[in-house]
Chains A and B, each alone.
Chain A
Amino acid sequence: MSAAVRPLLEVRNLRVEFNTRRGTLVAIDDVSFDIAPGEVLGVVGESGAGKSITGTAIIGLLEPPGRVSGGEILLDGQRIDTLPTEEMRKIRGRQIGAIFQDPLTSLNPLYTVGRQIVETIQTHLPMNAQQARARAVELLEEVGIPAAERRIDHYPHQFSGGMRQRVVIALALCANPRLIIADEPTTALDVSIQAQIIQLLKKLGREHGTAVMLITHDMGVIAETADRVAVMYAGRLAEIGPVQKVIHEPQHPYSVGLMGSIPAIGQEVERLSQIEGSMPRLDAIPQGCAYNPRCPKSFDRCRTERPNLMPAGATRAACWLHADRAGGTNAHRVPAEEHR
Chain B
Amino acid sequence: MSAEMKQGAALAQGASRALLEVKDLARDFDVSRPWLNRILEGAPRVLLKAVDGVSFAINRGETLSLVGESGCGKSTIARLVCGLYGPTRGSIVFDGQDMSEIASRSDMLTMRRRFQMIFQDPFASLNPRWRVGKIIAEPIRQHGIIQGEAAIAKRVGELLEDVRLAANDAEKFPHEFSGGQRQRISIARALSSNPEFLVCDEPTSALDVSVQAQILNLMKDLQREHGLTYLFISHNLAVVSHISDRVGVMYLGRIVEIAPTRTLFKRPLHPYTQMLESAIPDITMSGKERTPVAGEVPNPLDPPTGCAFHPRCPHANDRCRSERPELRTVEDAQVACHAVEEGRLVGVA
Interface, chain A (partner B; CB < 8 A): 46-47, 160-163, 190-196, 198-199, 217-221, 223-224, 243-244, 247-248, 257-276, 278
> Which residues of chain B from 257 to 292 have a CB within 8 Å of any chain A CB?
262, 265-266, 275-277, 279-288, 290, 292
- Shortest CB-to-CB span from B56 to chain A, Å, is 22
List B contacts of A267 (CB < 8 A): 284
Q: Is the interface of B mostly helix, strand, loop or mixed?
A: helix
> Which residues of chain B from 271 to 327 have a CB within 8 Å of any chain A CB?
275-277, 279-288, 290, 292-293, 295-297
Whether the pair A192, B275 counts as a contact (CB closer than 8 A) is yes
Whether the pair B296, A191 counts as a contact (CB closer than 8 A) is no
**23 A-B pairs (CB sep. < 8 Å):** A191-B69, A191-B276, A192-B69, A193-B296, A195-B279, A195-B290, A195-B292, A217-B209, A221-B281, A223-B281, A224-B286, A224-B287, A224-B290, A257-B210, A263-B216, A264-B241, A264-B284, A265-B282, A272-B216, A274-B217, A275-B210, A275-B213, A278-B178
Whether the pair B281, A265 counts as a contact (CB closer than 8 A) is no
Whether the pair A264, B281 counts as a contact (CB closer than 8 A) is no
List A contacts of B285 (CB < 8 A): 223-224
| Interface locus among B93-101, B114-122, B232-240 | B232-240
Q: Which of A193, A243, A276 has the most CB of B within 10 A?
A: A193
> Which residues of chain B from 202 to 259 have a CB within 8 Å of any chain A CB?
208-214, 216-217, 220, 235, 237-239, 241-242
Complex Cα–Cα for A255 and B306 (A) = 48
Which 4 A-B pairs have CB atoms at the shortest separation, nearest pair first?
A220-B281, A261-B213, A263-B242, A190-B69
Whether the pair A265, B213 counts as a contact (CB closer than 8 A) is no
- Shortest CB-to-CB span from B202 to chain A, Å, is 13
Residue of A nearest to B69 (CB): A190
Complex Cα–Cα for A47 and B122 (A) = 15
Partner pick for B290 among A47, A193, A199, CB 8 A cutoff: A199
- Shortest CB-to-CB span from A209 to chain B, Å, is 20
Whether the pair A190, B210 counts as a contact (CB closer than 8 A) is no
Whether the pair A220, B217 counts as a contact (CB closer than 8 A) is no
Whether the pair A223, B286 counts as a contact (CB closer than 8 A) is yes
Whether the pair A224, B209 counts as a contact (CB closer than 8 A) is no
List B contacts of A270 (CB < 8 A): 220
- Shortest CB-to-CB span from B195 to chain A, Å, is 23
Whether the pair A274, B214 counts as a contact (CB closer than 8 A) is yes
In the complex where A194-B279, A264-B282 touch, is A160 in contact with B296 (Cβ < 8 A)? Answer: yes
- Shortest CB-to-CB span from B289 to chain A, Å, is 8
Whether the pair A220, B242 counts as a contact (CB closer than 8 A) is no
Whether the pair A271, B210 counts as a contact (CB closer than 8 A) is no
Q: Which of B180, B266, B280 has the most CB of A within 10 A?
A: B280
- Shortest CB-to-CB span from A183 to chain B, Å, is 16
Whether the pair A244, B279 counts as a contact (CB closer than 8 A) is no
Interface presence of B127 (CB below 8 A): no
12 further A-B pairs in the complex, CB-CB below 8 A; given A199-B290, A221-B281, A224-B288: A46-B210, A192-B295, A193-B296, A195-B281, A220-B238, A223-B281, A261-B209, A263-B213, A263-B242, A269-B242, A272-B217, A278-B181
Interface presence of B70 (CB below 8 A): yes
Residue of A nearest to B276 (CB): A191
Complex Cα–Cα for A329 and B184 (A) = 42
In the complex where A199-B292, A266-B266 touch, is A194 in contact with B209 (Cβ < 8 A)? Answer: no
List A contacts of B242 (CB < 8 A): 263, 269, 272
List A contacts of B213 (CB < 8 A): 260-263, 272-275
List B contacts of A264 (CB < 8 A): 238, 241, 282-284
- Shortest CB-to-CB span from B182 to chain A, Å, is 11
Complex Cα–Cα for A193 and B71 (A) = 14
In the complex where A220-B281, A272-B242 touch, is A191 in contact with B210 (Cβ < 8 A)? Answer: no
Whether the pair B210, A261 counts as a contact (CB closer than 8 A) is yes
Residue of B nearest to A272 (CB): B213
Whether the pair A191, B282 counts as a contact (CB closer than 8 A) is no
Whether the pair B282, A223 counts as a contact (CB closer than 8 A) is yes
Residue of B nearest to A221 (CB): B281
List B contacts of A259 (CB < 8 A): 283
- Shortest CB-to-CB span from B294 to chain A, Å, is 8
Complex Cα–Cα for A296 and B287 (A) = 31
List B contacts of A161 (CB < 8 A): 70
Residue of B nearest to A199 (CB): B292
- Shortest CB-to-CB span from A232 to chain B, Å, is 12
In the complex where A191-B237, A192-B296, A265-B238 touch, is A274 in contact with B281 (Cβ < 8 A)? Answer: no
Whether the pair B280, A220 counts as a contact (CB closer than 8 A) is yes
Complex Cα–Cα for A248 and B287 (A) = 13
- Shortest CB-to-CB span from B74 to chain A, Å, is 12
Whether the pair A258, B209 counts as a contact (CB closer than 8 A) is yes
- Shortest CB-to-CB span from A260 to chain B, Å, is 8
- Shortest CB-to-CB span from A223 to chain B, Å, is 4
Whether the pair B69, A274 counts as a contact (CB closer than 8 A) is no
List B contacts of A160 (CB < 8 A): 296
Partner pick for A263 among B69, B208, B238, B292, CB 8 A cutoff: B238
In the complex where A46-B211, A265-B237, A278-B211 touch, is A218 in contact with B69 (Cβ < 8 A)? Answer: no
Complex Cα–Cα for A162 and B292 (A) = 15
In the complex where A162-B296, A271-B217, A272-B213 touch, is A220 in contact with B208 (Cβ < 8 A)? Answer: no
Residue of B nearest to A266 (CB): B265
Residue of A nearest to B178 (CB): A278
Whether the pair B210, A223 counts as a contact (CB closer than 8 A) is no
List B contacts of A269 (CB < 8 A): 242
Partner pick for A247 among B239, B279, B283, CB 8 A cutoff: B283
In the complex where A264-B238, A265-B237, A271-B217 touch, is A47 in contact with B208 (Cβ < 8 A)? Answer: yes
Whether the pair A265, B241 counts as a contact (CB closer than 8 A) is yes
- Shortest CB-to-CB span from A195 to chain B, Å, is 4
Complex Cα–Cα for A243 and B241 (A) = 24
Complex Cα–Cα for A198 and B291 (A) = 12
Whether the pair A265, B69 counts as a contact (CB closer than 8 A) is no
List A contacts of B70 (CB < 8 A): 161, 190
Whether the pair A195, B293 counts as a contact (CB closer than 8 A) is yes
